[in-house]
Amino acid sequence: MPSVFFEVPNTLKTKGYNLEHNFGHGKQHLSSLLVTLNILSLLFHTGLELIDQKYTLLRSHLPTRKTFFDDLRALTRYMYFDSWEHLLTFMLEGLELEIPPNTS
C-alpha cells in the first residue's frame, strides 16, 4: 500500500487535529461529522501550503501547527483583520520575516 495511506491518519492523530478525541461522541452521527470536519481541515491546510506563499512561510517558521493555531486564536480574539492576507502579513511582520514577492 502507498505510504500516503498511512500518513493521513497519523497526521490527523499527531499533528494538531486531535482525531482520537472525536470517536465515541454522540449517539448516531456526531463522530462521523467530526471526522469529516477533521479531514476537510487537513485538505484545506494542505491546499493552503500548495498555493499560499505567506502561509507556507509562516508554517515553516513556527515549530508546530498547534503554535500556529494558538497564535491565530490569540490574534483574532483581540484584533480585527480585514482579510486573511492582512492577518498573514501582520504575522510575518511580527516575526520579522520577509514578505514573499507577488503577494499583497
Please tell me the distance from the alpha carbon of residue 97 to that of residue 59, in angstroms, as a whole number. Answer: 12
Q: 41: which residues sit within 8 A by CB, 6+ positions away? A: 17
Chain centre distance of CA 101: 22
Please tell me the distance from the alpha carbon of residue 63 to that of residue 31, in angstroms, as a whole number. Answer: 29
pLDDT of residue 19: 61
- Work out the pLDDT band at 76, boundaries 50, 70, 90: very high
Can you give the residue ranges of every domain in the chain? Answer: 1-51, 52-104
Would you say the pTM of this structure is higher than 0.75?
no
CA atoms within 13 A on the CB side of 82: 5
Q: For 29-73, what is each residue's pLDDT tens digit?
A: 777 777 788 889 888 888 988 999 999 999 999 988 889 989 999
pLDDT of residue 100: 84
Q: Residue 5 pLDDT > 50, yes or no?
A: no
